């Protein structure tokens, strides 16, 4: 960054843009206080030569100090190296030519103000004063306007310089600054440099993307059986002291699995066998039927003698 942009006093010098129109209005009011003399053209040129041309020659030899505001200035011992480097750049020839051209612009301004001063006669602070008084008061106004013009041109020149050019310039010494610059004002002005930081380039926010983990799925085996839910406990709503009747099948029904009734027990088989034996005793001859056997004798049921 150019060191000139960090100096608050240089930015204050830009107030000359607002001061110049006010000073031109004051010049008009001063010249309106008296009537023009016998030779108004000669009077105007003479006033311009004393109030603008002579100061322009002085400013060519001794440029106005950058760190001076006419009434106050930065003391020589309190100046920083950057301030002394900027003071060394005031000797550039293009800068001095542009600054001296301000005196040429003041001649037409003075001529027009003196010619049109009659319109502001009622508002002039020097109403009904001699012509010489009006011209003498106009001289410092012309010099002040040239001072502000010079300071304004110098500040704009220094603000447009690159930082490399300023760094390569050798700074003035305190004795050189006192002898080669026009230092006006009391050495009471001490201002810290401005803290101007260059804006950082805007960067897009970085979004962290988590890597995706690939999960391999194994093919399903058709031979594997799916796990079945375990049967829940059967509700025990019936009383515990009730016992099943003999000869009846007990069927336990679960909420998930139905159990088929069991086959008849051995007690049923034994009861049927007793009934068949009882029927065999009722046959004639009183001999029970066998599974395939008959009586030994021809009588088929007679006993031994």
Q: DSSP string covering 227-278, please?
A: PPPPPPPPP--S-TT--PPTT-----B-SS-BPPPPPPPHHHHHHHHHHHHH
- Would you state the pLDDT for residue 152? 95
Q: What is the pLDDT of residues 99-113, one digit of tens each?
A: 999 999 999 999 999
Question: Quick check: is 202 in a domain?
Answer: no
CB-based contact 64:10 (threshold 8 Å) = no
pLDDT on residue 289: 43
Decide if 25 is inside a domain.
yes
Residue 256: HSE in the Cβ half-sphere, 13 Å Cα cutoff: 6
Nearest to 169 by CA among 84, 70, 110: 84
- Distance between CA atoms of residues 166 and 169, nearest Å: 5
Tell me how far apart the alpha carbons of residues 69 and 220 are, in angstroms, rounded to a whole number. 93
Cα Rg of the chain (Å, integer): 64
pLDDT at 236: 47
Instruction: Tell me if 283 is assigned to some domain.
Output: no
Q: Give every CB contact of residue 178 below 8 A, 6+ residues apart in sequence.
A: 76
Residue 157: the pLDDT is 93
Domain containing residue 82: 3-185
Determine the straight-line distance between the first and last CA of the chain, rounded to whole angstroms.
156
Q: Per the domain annotation, does 160 fall within a domain?
A: yes
Of 79, 59, 73, residue with least CA distance to 13: 73
Low-confidence ranges of the chain (pLDDT < 70): 196-305
- Residue 116 inside a domain? The answer is yes
Tens of pLDDT along 56-69?
999 999 999 999 99
**Is 46 contained in some domain?**
yes
- Residue 252 falls inside a structural domain: no
The total number of structural domains in the chain stands at: 1
Confirm whether 157 is domain-assigned: yes
Distance between CA atoms of residues 56 and 146, nearest Å: 8
Cα 281 from Cα 283, distance rounded (Å): 6
- Can you tell me the distance from the alpha carbon of 246 to that of 26, in angstroms, rounded to the nearest whole number? 138
pLDDT at 285: 47
| DSSP letter for each residue of the chain | --GGGG-HHHHHHTTHHHHHHHHHHHHHHHHTTS---S-HHHHHHHHHIIIIIHHHHHHHHSPBPTTB-SSEE--GGG--HHHHHHHHGGG-HHHHHHHHHHHHHHHHHHHHHHHTGGGGGGG-TTTT--HHHHHHHHHHHHHHHHHHHHHHHHHHHHHTS-HHHHHHSPPPPHHHHHHHSB--SEE----PPP---PPPPP-PPP---PPPPP-PPPPPPTTSPPPPPPPPPPP--S-TT--PPTT-----B-SS-BPPPPPPPHHHHHHHHHHHHHHHHTSTTS----SS---SSTTSSPPP-
């Amino acid at each position: 960054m150019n060191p000139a942009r960090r100096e608050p006093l240089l930015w204050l010098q830009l107030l000359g843009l607002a001061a110049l129109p006010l000073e031109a209005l004051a010049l008009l009011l001063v010249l309106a206080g008296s009537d023009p003399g016998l030779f108004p053209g000669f009077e105007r040129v003479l006033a311009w030569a004393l109030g603008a041309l002579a100061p322009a020659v002085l400013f060519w030899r001794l440029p106005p100090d950058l760190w001076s505001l006419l009434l106050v200035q930065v003391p020589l011992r309190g100046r920083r190296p950057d301030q002394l480097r900027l003071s060394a750049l005031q000797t550039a020839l293009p800068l001095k030519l542009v600054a001296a051209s301000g005196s040429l612009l003041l001649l037409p301004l003075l001529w027009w103000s003196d010619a049109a001063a009659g319109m502001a006669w009622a508002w002039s602070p020097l109403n009904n004063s001699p012509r010489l008084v009006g011209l003498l008061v106009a001289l410092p106004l012309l010099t002040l306007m040239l001072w502000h013009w010079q300071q304004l041109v110098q500040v704009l020149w220094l603000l447009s310089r690159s930082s490399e050019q300023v760094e390569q310039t050798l700074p003035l010494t305190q004795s050189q600054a006192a002898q080669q610059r026009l230092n006006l004002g009391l050495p009471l002005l001490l201002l810290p440099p401005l803290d101007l930081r260059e804006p950082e380039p805007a960067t897009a926010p970085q979004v962290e993307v988590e890597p995706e983990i690939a999960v391999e799925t194994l093919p399903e085996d058709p031979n594997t059986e799916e796990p079945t839910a375990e049967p829940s406990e059967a509700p025990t709503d019936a009383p515990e002291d009730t016992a099943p009747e003999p000869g009846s099948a007990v069927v336990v029904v679960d909420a998930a699995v139905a159990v088929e009734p069991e086959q008849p027990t051995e007690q049923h088989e034994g009861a049927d066998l007793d009934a068949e034996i009882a029927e065999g005793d009722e046959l004639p001859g009183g001999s029970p039927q066998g599974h395939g056997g008959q009586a030994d004798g021809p009588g088929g049921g007679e006993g031994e003698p």
